Amino acid sequence: MSRYVMTASAQMGPISKSETRADAVKRLVEMMREAKGRGCELVVFTELALTTFFPRWVIEDEAELDSYYETEMPSAATLPLFEEASKLGIGFYLGYAELVIENGVKRRYNTSILVDQTGTIIGKYRKVHLPGHSEPQEGRAFQHLEKAYFEPGDLGFPVCRGFGGVMGMAICNDRRWPETYRVMGLQGVDMVMLGYNTPFGHTGKHETDALTNFHNHLSMQAGAYQNATWVVGTAKCGDEEGSVMGGQSVIVAPSGEIVAQSYTMEDEVITAKCDLDAGNIYRETVFNFEIHRRPEHYGLIVERTGAVLPAAE
């Protein structure tokens, strides 16, 4: 039985501060329709796809901050996405800011969901690797306050069955950490979907800025190859309220090859026919985990958080 999944990565150009949820959802629905028109059964949207990338600002008013979060999914504003998906018979990955009250405590996560072709949520993920900082830093044109506005995800890296395979999710900065892919690879993941907002100027250094696109692809290509999985990376990009973010959304095969790539900094749909069995050649040979991995030598990966150097000479 063939396991092809016609897949779209629906890159998103900037969302201005003044755009409403309805505006964003309208753009997403348009791209969903285009994806369907191009034969897709799955469309991967970006991280925090419903609003502007608000962690770039210091927001001291709690009501204002809360206004960027979803308290239910679907909500009145996002329901059209679910309805359209169900009507068209197309699934989707969607990233959004999630606010939940648990035991009377307000919790905030950078979240993504996977919705199947009937409009049903079949998977949920909360971003584990939050980049940036928890306090405003002086002298920056834009902050990166994800560590202030979200807490680290508490769901691990779950996978779920769907679209004929094993589906996994990650978000933005997760893609730079090999642990992200490996934990899902050890659950037999066939496709990792991830959205990202990656501002230039993040480190304030030209050296890293110039390599933003290279690092974006390097991380996803290595994660794909080393785990014999598809990786679908979807950017929010372009000049958003004066902060420019990288594009070059991609669909990466289990060989590590980029098989589709966006070339604009706007809303843009790219597609590929993804054979979920394309990774088998690697899983059965060089990346047959069962016969080649040596976990007895990997202990430090879970025993340590930061690096500990050997004693000085």
Smallest distance from the beta carbon of 189 to a copy of itself, in angstroms?
Answer: 8
Report CA-CA distances (Å) from 135 to 40, 57, 132, 177, 183.
42, 11, 9, 23, 30
Query: Considering only CA atoms, which of 215, 62, 80 is closest in space to residue 148?
Result: 62
Judge whether 83 counts as a catalytic residue. no
**Stretch in the footprint of a copy of itself (CB under 8 A) among 16-24, 87-95, 122-130, 234-242:** 122-130
Residue 200 engages a copy of itself in binding (rule: CB under 8 A): no
Tell me the C-alpha distance between 303 and 153, whole Å: 20
Contacts of 178 (CB under 8 A, 6+ apart): 222, 223, 226
**Tokens 């359209």 sit on residue:** 84
Smallest distance from the beta carbon of 157 to a copy of itself, in angstroms?
Answer: 6
Judge whether 127 counts as a catalytic residue. yes
The string of DSSP codes covering 6-50 is EEEEEEB----TT--HHHHHHHHHHHHHHHHHTT-SEEE--TTTT
* Beta carbon nearer to a copy of itself, 51 or 212: 212
CA 196 to chain CA centroid, Å, is 5
Q: Which two tokens stand for residue 154?
A: 């508490």
Residue 107 engages a copy of itself in binding (rule: CB under 8 A): no
Residue 225 engages a copy of itself in binding (rule: CB under 8 A): yes
Judge whether 205 counts as a catalytic residue. no
Smallest distance from the beta carbon of 124 to a copy of itself, in angstroms?
Answer: 14
From the list 226, 259, 275, 277, which residue makes contact with a copy of itself (rule: CB under 8 A)? Answer: 226
From the list 222, 259, 275, 277, which residue makes contact with a copy of itself (rule: CB under 8 A)? Answer: 222
**Stretch in the footprint of a copy of itself (CB under 8 A) among 18-26, 29-37, 217-225, 265-273:** 217-225
From the list 22, 58, 141, 301, which residue makes contact with a copy of itself (rule: CB under 8 A)? Answer: 301
DSSP class of 70: B
Smallest distance from the beta carbon of 170 to a copy of itself, in angstroms?
Answer: 11
CA 240 to chain CA centroid, Å, is 18
Residue 282 engages a copy of itself in binding (rule: CB under 8 A): yes
From the list 51, 110, 111, 173, which residue makes contact with a copy of itself (rule: CB under 8 A)? Answer: 173
Q: Which residues are catalytic?
A: 47, 127, 172
